[in-house]
Amino acid sequence: MANWSDPRIGASQPTTTIGHDVAYDAGLRSHMVSVYNYMISGVLLTGIVALAMVSSGYAESLINFQTGGLTGLGYLLAFAPLGVVLWMNFGINRISTGTARILFFVYAAMIGASLSTLFYVYTGGSIATTFFATAAGFAGLSLWGYTTKKDLSGMGTFLIMGLVGIIIAMVVNLFLRSSAFDLAISALGVLIFAGLTAYDTQKIKSLYYAVGGTDFHGKAIVMSALTLYLDFLNMFLFLLRFMGNRN
């Protein structure tokens, strides 16, 4: 993955004079507002596309109702976003800020089309309830990550190791098909992405030291929004396994 979030990129640490501190605080607030605006816009686009797919009936073309699995188009939409996010991460230093923005919203729209199949698995009411619960939890965790004086960098390695462990466990459970194991995976998934939300928020805040005022600033905003978008999305999906009422 391109090391776009390396805090050594670009600008130096701000000076301690009052004038510079005030300018830095104003710039940081503007930076974080831009990140959240992109992230929220991406989440809303995902939801709008998912609802549009369901209401238009196009979502049915993604599901094989005889087997309960996905159709060829469904698998394409499930894996295509991975290509987009890899393009963004590995090519971020070569693409323009405008291209990064377009790719972010293309990714969010593709995720929305793919997630439209959830409406055939869970009731609409439980999806809405889980979404608002996730939004409330995400807001609180991100606010804590932004305001806390505690250094959360030590959580990073632990959380990434936990994430890798969950991915392995999910692959194993494809063969075991254990409901109890699936429930445990979902619980760990919620906890890990809750931790990542706070950790990533603090990392994005610290990143402003490096990118503020540089040519990379615009792309850093988009990539930071993508990071928080993925934290929100995965927290929602794991929480839906708990709160979702199946059709």
Which position has the higher pLDDT, 10 or 56? 56
Per-residue pLDDT, averaged over 154-158, amounts to 90
**Do 117 and 78 form a contact (C-beta atoms < 8 A)?**
no
Per-residue pLDDT, averaged over 123-132, amounts to 94
Q: Answer whether residue 116 shows pLDDT above 60.
A: yes
Which position has the higher pLDDT, 18 or 197? 197
Burial 198-220 (b: 16+ CB within 10 A, else e): bbbbbbbbebbbbbbeeebbbbb
Per-residue pLDDT, averaged over 178-207, amounts to 94
Token pair in block for residue 86: 């890899």
Q: Answer whether residue 201 shows pLDDT above 80.
A: yes
**Do 223 and 100 form a contact (C-beta atoms < 8 A)?**
yes
pLDDT of residue 15: 45
Per-residue pLDDT, averaged over 182-196, amounts to 94
Q: Answer whether residue 7 shows pLDDT above 60.
A: no
Domains in the chain: boundaries: 18-243
Stated length of the chain: 247
Spatial separation of the C-alpha atoms in residues 135 and 137, rounded to whole Å: 6
Q: Answer whether residue 59 shows pLDDT above 60.
A: yes
CA-closest candidate to residue 46, choices 77, 75, 5? 77
Spatial separation of the C-alpha atoms in residues 17 and 157, rounded to whole Å: 35
Per-residue pLDDT, averaged over 179-195, amounts to 93
Spatial separation of the C-alpha atoms in residues 115 and 53, rounded to whole Å: 9
Query: 247 vs 51, 123, 244, CA distance in Å?
Result: 17, 6, 9
Per-residue pLDDT, averaged over 160-177, amounts to 92
Q: pTM for this structure?
A: 0.88
24 pLDDT tier (thresholds 50, 70, 90): low
